Structure 1
Amino acid sequence: MQNNNFNIIDCDRHVIEPLQMWDDYLPKDEKIKKISLSFDNPEAQKQRVLNGYPDISIPPTYLIGEKPILSNWDIDQQVASALVNAQSIKERKSATNPVDQVASMDETSVAQALIFPTFANYIVNHQHVDSHTSLAYAKAYNNWLQDYCSYSTERLFPVALISRHDSSTLVEQVKEVALLGWKAVVLRPEPIMGKNLGHPDNEAFWATCAELDIVVTFHGGTHLQGQTVGMERFNTRFSLHACSHPMEAQMAFIDLLESGVFERNPNLKTAFLEAGCSWVAHWLWRLDNICYNEFPSLTKNNIKMLPSEYFKRHCWVGLEIGEPIADTLNIIGHQKLIFGSDYPHPDHLHFDLASIQDEMPILSTEQIRDILENNPKALFGL
């Protein structure tokens, strides 16, 4: 694909947070645990070799106090990561600062990008962090992100990270986002601290987002210290990564549907990212044709039209280059599709935006233009 004069908007681009930013932006509060890195050492590497592992150094791991930010990240997973680490060092380093971030956008003709966290999403949502500390982490990250994106305010659009540990703080967090002029917030789709997205304590949050026209994006991830689908039966990167993104997206939609969040907030806008869009067709067909009419007395108050109608009213979804989308197009139309590169995360670097027309011939040039440009403009008000 030549550029075709597309004004490409990347709806899922990430920073890599430098460790120093936590020291620079967190308040001086003894109650707030320090963020640090645990580094490999020659003795540990030697012991791994004696145990049959490759003679390779493993990347450092993040800690909150003494607790790792990642779950199910044992030596097997760390060594596997180390073996492919060199393949994405350049890209990950470029995302630590806005100058190189913008330069990387230029290389792939990306005009504008919504900017999301990487490690901060694990830190803020960590189940062993208290609510005061989680909120402090979120504010520190957002303040740093504001400075990061100020380098190019016409191209870098910050997405605020919200702490869900204490529901009573949610409305104030959203109001602060709106005062900054930001367009969106990001939540993990899982239950956090035992509360689903649609928990009654979160009701004012959804109403405020709808009122202030703040888009709520859902971005999952593997290895959270929390309650992600798949953790109850798997412990490897392969299986956990296969489950975490698409399955959590499906359950997040169910959560907001059945709890009545969509019914009570007709102007609420949401977006599901890095989960693909192929699941949408199967999920909505099942909900419309099997679940919706099964026990009407249980759904009549909160689900007053077909689930697919709520999806079309409230939801946008990011596509993956090359995935099968014919059925999703038939159900929700291409106007609800957006594109996110997931840059600089290694699992998506092999996808080439320039090949989208070859990989997805079902889409016309004008439909691709809508997905890359017009749909995100309409969603985020860019």
Structure 2
Amino acid sequence: MRDGYRILDADRHVIEPLDLWEAHLEPELRAHAPYLAYAGEGEPLADRVAYAGPEGLIPLPPRPMMDGRPIHHRMSARAWRAVASAGRRRSARLGPLELPQAHIADMDREGIDVAFLYPTTALMLLGMAPLDAALAGALARAYNTWLRGFCDHEPRRLRGVALMSPHDPAQMVPELARAAALGFRAVVLRPNPVAGRTLGDPAYEAFWAECERRSIAVAVHEGAHASLPAAGADRFHSRFALHACSHPMEQMMALLALIEGGALERHPGLRVAFLEAGCGWLPYWLWRLDEIEYRSLAEEVAPHVRREPSAYFRRQCFVEIEPDEPCLEQAIPWLGEGNAIFGTDFPHIDHDAGMVERALALRGRLPGEALRRVLWDNAARFYGVEE
């Protein structure tokens, strides 16, 4: 506990060692294991030094690749330099994050009791396109096997979230069963369409039904630089713009897909969380869906949308807040005090140290017991953490 609060980090990330896929992929697929390679900077040294200073003298580190392609789509040399520089500083400060001990040490410093762990590289691998469906499933299986071993270092505090591949819908239920057998109580999906299928596509119906039956929580988590269809990618090329668009806008469409496709209507016990985009988009989005779309077009979707969209969210959905985002005092009560959760996004570069401190600073802004619910109760209910 910290300052009298139990803290559940609902969105923390591992930094996977690339050799996990060589170790855990099926033998016939190991030739496809990701690897590091130099992709070339494409910038004269003088230009690099002009914008990066002495840092520009350091050659760019190799990039993660798979089958001859960088796993980060449209990652400029400047953006990769910024990411790599932040990674070096992070490693110098925190130690090797490929090891669970580094996570436990940081959790102890921050006062975090329990953390749910999400992928970094593995999430990007499943954002590649085209991607053979059998390979995509194997990549997810290998990651889930490795993650189980990672969490076994301290299973009470390190809780894994299994990665699901929507590239082959028929294999999602078997992998869900395997993940449950490994002890995972939550799974993560990207929001991007795959082969034209949104999350509301009928092809995923058996998966949603099985998540509901097993009481497995489902997290929707985007990652920039996907070569799958992603918001903003049809008109922007910089990381600045792609990252800005992909996270909130893909979450907006993912929620819409689950409502419009009827998944939330058919599966009222399904629990879904939308991560790493803040919550500020939700009041406007739900207001628009209720007051503009549903009020005038409810008849069109009446067979599978039988209540206002906001009612589905309040009944069975959760959203990760950003402690510094504006208007939380209004947004959280409007959304429902039981629907907001907190995550650090550790150790990604867009969320630096001190996230817990900033969350605790909300004591003076949120009413009553709202902060206690945000820091522990709501996420514990979402993930099914026993008190």
Deviation at 1:34, TM superposition (A): 2.5
1:120 aligns with 2:119: no
In the other structure, the counterpart of 2:53 is none
Which range moved further: 361-370 or 147-156? 361-370
Match of 2:315 among 313, 316, 320: 313
Q: Residue by residue, what CA displacement relative to the aligned partner does 1:228-282 show, whole Å, maximum 9, x if unpaired?
A: 1010011111111111111111110000000011111111100011010111111
Alpha carbons of 1:180 and 1:295: their partners in 2 closer, same or farther (altered >3 Å)? same
Aligned residues of 2:221 and 2:275 also touching (Cα < 8 A): yes
Aligned residues of 2:363 and 2:371 also touching (Cα < 8 A): no
Aligned residues of 2:14 and 2:119 also touching (Cα < 8 A): yes
1:331 aligns with 2:334: yes
Alpha carbons of 1:299 and 1:209: their partners in 2 closer, same or farther (altered >3 Å)? same
Q: Residue by residue, what CA displacement relative to the aligned partner does 1:9-61 show, whole Å, maximum 9, x if unpaired?
A: 10101100012212111121157513110137xxx679630555532322321
Unpaired runs of 5+ residues, structure 1, are none
CA distance in 2, matches of 1:46, 1:65: 21
Aligned residues of 1:321 and 1:360 also touching (Cα < 8 A): no
Deviation at 1:226, TM superposition (A): 1.2
In the other structure, the counterpart of 2:230 is 228
1:216 aligns with 2:215: no
CA distance in 2, matches of 1:155, 1:118: 19
Q: Helix, strand or coil for the counterpart of 1:225? A: coil
Root mean square deviation, CA, Å: 2.0
Which range moved further: 319-328 or 78-87? 78-87
Residues 1-382 of structure 1: matches in 2 within 5 Å? 3-30=2-29, 32-39=31-38, 48-50=44-46, 53=49, 54-90=56-92, 93-324=95-326, 325-359=328-362, 361-364=364-367, 366-382=369-385
Q: Residue by residue, what CA displacement relative to the aligned partner does 1:171-218 show, whole Å, maximum 9, x if unpaired?
A: 111111222231100000111232111111111111111111011101
Unpaired runs of 5+ residues, structure 2, are 50-55
> Would you say how many aligned residue pairs link Structure 1 and Structure 2?
378
Aligned residues of 1:12 and 1:113 also touching (Cα < 8 A): yes
Alpha carbons of 1:47 and 1:189: their partners in 2 closer, same or farther (altered >3 Å)? closer
Q: Helix, strand or coil for the counterpart of 2:72? A: coil
CA distance in 1, matches of 2:42, 2:301: 59
Aligned residues of 1:16 and 1:93 also touching (Cα < 8 A): no
Aligned residues of 1:357 and 1:363 also touching (Cα < 8 A): no
Alpha carbons of 1:91 and 1:269: their partners in 2 closer, same or farther (altered >3 Å)? farther
Deviation at 1:160, TM superposition (A): 0.3
Aligned residues of 2:94 and 2:106 also touching (Cα < 8 A): no
* Equivalent position amino acid for 1:136 in 2: A
CA distance in 1, matches of 2:314, 2:277: 17
Q: Give TM-score scaled by structure 2 length.
A: 0.92
* Equivalent position amino acid for 1:162 in 2: M
